[in-house]
Structure 1
Amino acid sequence: MGKMDEMILVSKRTVLFGENDELAFQGVNSSPDTVQHVTKQLSNNIEVMRRGDAEENTTYKQPIPYVVIKKGNQVFGYERLSGGGETRLHSQWSLGYGGHMNKTESDKFEDTLMTNLYRELEEELDIKFTGAELKPIGLINDDLNPVGEVHLGLLYTYELDSEATIEVREKDQIRGFWLDINELKNEETYTKLEAWSQFVADLLGGDKPD
């Protein structure tokens, strides 16, 4: 089965943002009321769709767990290489790990979300740590490009202890590296980041460069 035949979870845009897009936003939204409402609507109105169809259907949003790994004042970023992944994002840097969600045996959306979130981390990274804390930060929405238009990010930070180590598993597909949070807003770094990661940089590292 090709990746575009994968069956993934989706939800109607009007269910999440309203019939007139009154709750739609651009960038990161950390408002507790908005996050709670959209997440509740998502959990109560989830559907299953073939990925290839969902990628071309802007009336649906695909929920994507997006985990930013932190250690002290650093975040773990990566570059997508030509060996794999979303071709529209090759050579760009990312600050978040995650992917499409698949149905699980649980009827609870929160359980399904966590199962998919940790599965993605385990598939892509070898993380060794003695302590870690997962924190919800907000939602990511970007309707200004064809990738973001059909996705909705569920943003988390994963805070590791100071002795933690990370290695990427598929070195032919991604190159991992640590970045200082204070350097995220530097123009040289910022311009290499994919759109969602620029939103994260704005949130963690201050305003975007002029």
Structure 2
Amino acid sequence: MSKEQEQVLCINRKRLPQSWVSRRTVLPMHFYTFADTCTKAGFSFVRRGIAEEDRQKKQIIPYILLQTADGSMTAAYNRQGSEKRLHELWSIGIGGHINPEDTAMETDSFKNILETGMQRELDEELIQRVTGDPIEFIGIISEDITPVGSVHMGAVFLIRTQTPEGYLPGDELHRFTWHATQTLCQLDLELWSELALELTNSLNPAL
């Protein structure tokens, strides 16, 4: 199936809180609040070729960060994947679109669909990971500044690990390396990574 024919999870932006879809959104949030609001807003799978051109829809993307347990180091990679508009930028977020394959049954909850898609993305992007490390939902990011951002919303998850060497990248995570979190701003980061860093810093103001 081509990228344009792929079915992706979307929510009508008019049914989301205005604070979620501002020009530049960084909101710490509990997972229950996010999932409950999205459920009430209503979600559907839309052909990606259509969704990418429709600013009235927000495609929901799990965006997963890897950090050491103390938050001092963060994994980053250089984008070389299918989204050519992000090529050569650095990213700290692993993730991608949620598809119908992440739905076990038609009655699956938004929460279950998102968690299934998030786990699938980790399995696809990493050839090895520490399965015992907790995965925490920390909030959402969104922006209407770039063409990519205007049609997507990031559901940000954070993995904190005592064993960063236990994470090995697949081919899509080009030049995957661990960086001092404080020096990430020296990289040419995609905007979503800047927003995600702002979100994590709000949880760890000392870093």
Compute the TM-score of the two structures, normalised by the length of structure 2.
Answer: 0.85
Tell me which of the two structures has the higher relative contact order, counting C-alpha pairs closer than 8 angstroms and 6 or more residues apart. 2
Aligned partners of 1:75 and 1:181 also within 8 Å: yes
Partner Cα distance (2:19, 2:163) in 1: 42
CA contact (8 A) 1:184 1:205 kept: no
Give me the whole-angstrom Cα distance separating, in 2, the residues matched to 1:43 and 1:136: 17
Q: Is the 8 A contact 2:20 2:27 kept in 1?
A: no
C-alpha offsets along residues 160-206 of structure 1, whole Å, 9 cap, x if unaligned? 223642222216x6221111112123xx32xx000010112233458
Secondary structure of 1:184's counterpart equals: helix
Partner of residue 65, structure 2 = 68
Residue-by-residue CA offset, 1:92-127 (whole Å, 9 max, x unaligned): 000011111012124111111111001111111123
* 8 Å Cα contact 2:6-2:48 kept in structure 1: yes
Give 1:43 shift: 2.3
Distance 2:165 2:54 in 1: 40
Deviations 1:39-59 (A, max 9, x none): 323224011110010000000
What residue in structure 1 maps to residue 54 of structure 2? 57
- The equivalent residue for 2:28 is 30
Q: Does the 8 Å contact 2:29/2:140 carry over to 1? A: no
Give distance in 2, aligned partners of 1:166 and 1:145: 30
Same amino acid, percent of matched pairs: 32
Measure, in 1, the Cα distance between the counterparts of 2:146 and 2:95: 19
- Displacement of 1:129 in angstroms is 2.5
Aligned residue for 1:133? Answer: 134
Q: Which amino acid aligns with 2:37?
A: Q
For 1:22 and 1:204, locate their aligned partners in 2 and report how far apart those are by CA, in whole Å: 19
Q: Structure 2: which 5+ residue stretches go unaligned?
A: 203-207
Distance change in 2, residues 1:156/1:148 (3 Å): same
Say if 1:157 and 1:40 are closer, same or farther in 2 by CA, change over 3 A. Answer: same
> What does residue 115 of structure 2 align with?
114
Aligned partners of 1:112, 1:170: CA distance in 2, in Å?
Answer: 25
| Corresponding residue for residue 91 of structure 2 | 94
Q: Which residue number in structure 1 is paired with residue 2 of structure 2? A: 2
Q: CA deviation at 1:36?
A: 5.4
Q: What RMSD, in angstroms, separates the aligned Cα atoms of the two structures? A: 2.1
